[in-house]
Structure 1
């Protein structure tokens, strides 16, 4: 289809809309667009000022030009007559009505109170009744009496369904081709926050709160699995990758939960007596000058290049790489390519174990005692490595406050202040010159920690810590 390009005018004196249009044409040409695709209508406008027009030199006071272009150039949806068919592609959950089936009506019409057939994965057909029909409007849903072909809707009253099941005619049920849900490839330990700062930030901090929240998540997140851990306050959560699990953790912290999570671990299976691990198809699209650097980075993580094609000035590369090799890869790829790389991956299959992969080799700088971190102490310790904390930040014993330049862990005292006397100094005191600390995002923190470390997650803070906070106990456990 020909695109309708909407150019939102940037309020800069050196950037004219016609120059932006030339940039769009250059971009589409670099993506191998045909002559027909390059011939498209253009609408100019300013979102800030609230207008659209077919001529950027003639601003208007409304967005009618944009709405007219949608009607004129975008083809109307095709309505398919016949018996009703809808593929369930997503689900929602309500504490009042339970699970809600969401999908797009492929054919026919669905009505409130209508009897339908639910075509399941095993080939069985179950008779169901639609109690309520909702369509999506803005950020919410609106109740309707009927929906037709092409409408995206939510069905309330359907029971025991799965993603990929088909809602069909009760007399002549006809199932649509199923969609598959990738199985979990990675697990992570969730546990309650038992650090000295427990309960300072969060609203929900007990094991009962976390268990109830994970149970509710299972109702609408089908790619997730949860198992009770060795203790009553720990759970093993299985997901599709670090990003999938970090979205859940970020959602929980924004809701007011406090918890701790361990290092991500891939799920290992034994197939025909052989140790196997999940392998993913990784695709990276990036400028040509960065290709060799990225290929070396991926192959060091046991990645195997299967194809490389050139698209004008960009390279499209495909790899088969173990799931554990992707942990921490995205950040490194973006850094090495100056943010130009586009990276995506999906589960492929289980293959024999690929061998050990080099992970983080640097040790940790661990706080010796609880208190306030001082710039004076951090300044004197900067030759040990890089820090993750700001001066005047509260820390506790066992918290990871930085990364050691060497491969061993070091306990440091960042709470040591300068001793003041009433004697004048013989020379001027040197000012503390502190390198800005490294601030991790949630996903970066999960990829960074070692096996003996946790990420402490609260609504306002992300902290790295050792699982065993006491230094003597850690030494005994290591022996």
Structure 2
């Protein structure tokens, strides 16, 4: 049977997962009367809530007696570690581009990886049903991007398909058709069959699955030879050593699930059960004369955060896993499949430094852990600096902002305050398209400020570009915070009296502890406040509105917003049901002593 292996790559929100849904429906993977819902591939709760793909996934469909293995990849540059390894399984890529937005920073990032691996591209210009769309201009911009990325002549001669995955049609021209068969026909015609070289068996492990019944399952593409059930193999480890092993069971992908088989020929993607202690990037090779494939190189992390046990007064109330041993085991388990993550021990056994690609990458890990029942404290994200030619250097990012023209001045002002340099400014219809080169530090906390300044209209995207010399201090948060003086339950009376001092993160009736951050102060500098004082009752009745107090609802902040908000002396307490901001030192006197000590040192 003929095989095609194809990865779908695009910027976040350009419609990859919706396109995969349409391919699944068009090839009749489900019965006609089967209830499937939308975004079939985004099967974990976090992905569905956020509307983003975090983990790459494979499915397989049959079309005209050809098996097409489809790999859905994440669009966020923060999950680049996922993209880089799964592209190894593909022989061609479908590059999906929005007909209005055109190529975006992450499009460039994933396309560059695909072209370096010499994959055959098919360009799909999606969402041509949108008002203000500009498919012809976008097509030229995509060609320009290929040219900038040094595509070969063969790659520059890419086929282009137009359509709308939401409406369920694709065509080689802008004329709507009944279905998506023109796209599937182009995949069969343009994507080459997997290259099979002669030699002993080889398969690189590019992702892993876990089943409580079977244990860890290795997934990858068979490059040479044929794998058989019960066959003895050698596992070529990353450090160069060899480990003898045996394949217990073999599965190939069929539809949304896996099908048990006795053998898998070169070119197909399969899952192996029975190999112990493997890591991503290692090679399953021949038993007699094993040959390892080159290891997958992954871009380095650019940001780190301190993870520690929850040591607040409310410790252990909501979580099941609260000790440092639980935390260490969970982080080590994450390292097995999250390639772009690094974990380092610190001098304190209860604290770990976790390195990742960006705030989203780290916050998804924290969010997943709290849903699993972990309690932890996370510190302020810090960028990783390097010494290059004797100079201190920091990571820089390419930032792209699309914003209505009347707000462009505010955006430029915000980014330049954070040491960003504007490279491009051009009009796209009523929108201004702005491109900046900005230090990664400058992006922390920028999104919420930008959305406030542009009435929620700005669309921003960024990706890591390179390390450059340190740009000096960047102004952080201007305002201080209101910190709880004592523990207790907040009262409407106290909050009402304090409302003119700041905007609150808690509602009346919430339990708080000393050292917890309750609100943002209207001025710089922190203020210790009592928010648990009740009204003293007397038997005298006051005329007028005595007991009424109007309280503004609290500010709800997501985990990422909290990470961007906190300063060096603050941290976030994360439990399965709550996210609280707090000072690292809960005692007011300890904070005062520490501040005094810093002044003396300075």
1: CA distance, partners of 2:433 / 2:202:
38
Is 1:461 aligned to residue 578 of structure 2?
A: yes
State the match for 2:311 in structure 1. Answer: 194
- The 1:115/1:331 distance shift into structure 2, 3 A limit, reads farther
- The 1:24/1:263 distance shift into structure 2, 3 A limit, reads same
State the match for 1:80 in structure 2. Answer: 194
2: CA distance, partners of 1:301 / 1:41:
38
State the match for 1:420 in structure 2. Answer: 537
CA contact (8 A) 2:280 2:337 kept: no
Residue number among 362, 371, 379 corresponding to 1:245 in the alignment:
362
- Structure with larger Rg: 1
Deviations 1:150-178 (A, max 9, x none): 75433445678765667688999999887
Q: Which runs of 5+ in 2 are unaligned?
A: 1-7, 9-18, 23-36, 38-125, 141-158, 170-176, 597-602
2: CA distance, partners of 1:358 / 1:400:
21
After TM superposition, list the pairs within 5 Å mapping 1:277-288 onto structure 2.
Answer: 277-288=394-405
User: C-alpha displacement at 1:96, in angstroms?
Assistant: 8.0
CA contact (8 A) 1:31 1:311 kept: no
Residue number among 24, 29, 43 corresponding to 2:129 in the alignment:
24
State the match for 1:69 in structure 2. Answer: 179
- Judging by fraction of residues, say which structure has more helix: 2
- The 1:301/1:129 distance shift into structure 2, 3 A limit, reads farther
- The 1:430/1:159 distance shift into structure 2, 3 A limit, reads closer
Deviations 1:259-298 (A, max 9, x none): 1111111112222322121222333344444433323222
Is 1:102 aligned to residue 219 of structure 2?
A: yes
1: CA distance, partners of 2:222 / 2:454:
42
Q: Which moved more, 1:267-276 or 1:145-154?
A: 145-154
2: CA distance, partners of 1:166 / 1:393:
54
1: CA distance, partners of 2:578 / 2:552:
21
1: CA distance, partners of 2:20 / 2:307:
47
Structure 2 residue matching 1:69: 3-state secondary structure: coil
- The 1:116/1:297 distance shift into structure 2, 3 A limit, reads farther
- The 1:359/1:72 distance shift into structure 2, 3 A limit, reads closer
Deviations 1:286-312 (A, max 9, x none): 444443332322222112233445444
State the match for 2:300 in structure 1. Answer: 183
State the match for 2:412 in structure 1. Answer: 295
State the match for 1:396 in structure 2. Answer: 513
State the match for 1:258 in structure 2. Answer: 375
User: C-alpha displacement at 1:240, in angstroms?
Assistant: 1.2
Structure 1 residue matching 2:519: 3-state secondary structure: strand
- Normalising by structure 2, report the TM-score: 0.64
- The 1:208/1:124 distance shift into structure 2, 3 A limit, reads closer
1: CA distance, partners of 2:165 / 2:349:
61
User: C-alpha displacement at 1:465, in angstroms?
Assistant: 0.8
User: C-alpha displacement at 1:24, in angstroms?
Assistant: 1.0
1: CA distance, partners of 2:221 / 2:403:
35
CA contact (8 A) 1:30 1:312 kept: no
State the match for 1:235 in structure 2. Answer: 352
State the match for 2:323 in structure 1. Answer: 206
User: C-alpha displacement at 1:380, in angstroms?
Assistant: 0.5
CA contact (8 A) 1:263 1:446 kept: yes
Count of aligned residue pairs for this structure pair: 447
2: CA distance, partners of 1:448 / 1:351:
25
- Normalising by structure 1, report the TM-score: 0.78
State the match for 1:222 in structure 2. Answer: 339
CA contact (8 A) 1:118 1:166 kept: yes
- The 1:174/1:22 distance shift into structure 2, 3 A limit, reads closer
- The 1:211/1:355 distance shift into structure 2, 3 A limit, reads same
Deviations 1:95-150 (A, max 9, x none): 88776443456788654455778788899999976544334567765433344677
Q: Which runs of 5+ in 1 are unaligned?
A: 9-20, 46-51, 53-65
1: CA distance, partners of 2:167 / 2:469:
55
2: CA distance, partners of 1:161 / 1:184:
23
Q: Which moved more, 1:30-39 or 1:332-341?
A: 30-39
2: CA distance, partners of 1:31 / 1:112:
51
User: C-alpha displacement at 1:464, in angstroms?
Assistant: 0.7
Q: Which moved more, 1:140-149 or 1:249-258?
A: 140-149
| Alignment RMSD (CA, Å) | 4.1
- The 1:159/1:313 distance shift into structure 2, 3 A limit, reads farther
User: C-alpha displacement at 1:448, in angstroms?
Assistant: 0.7
Is 1:435 aligned to residue 552 of structure 2?
A: yes
Structure 1 residue matching 2:541: 3-state secondary structure: coil
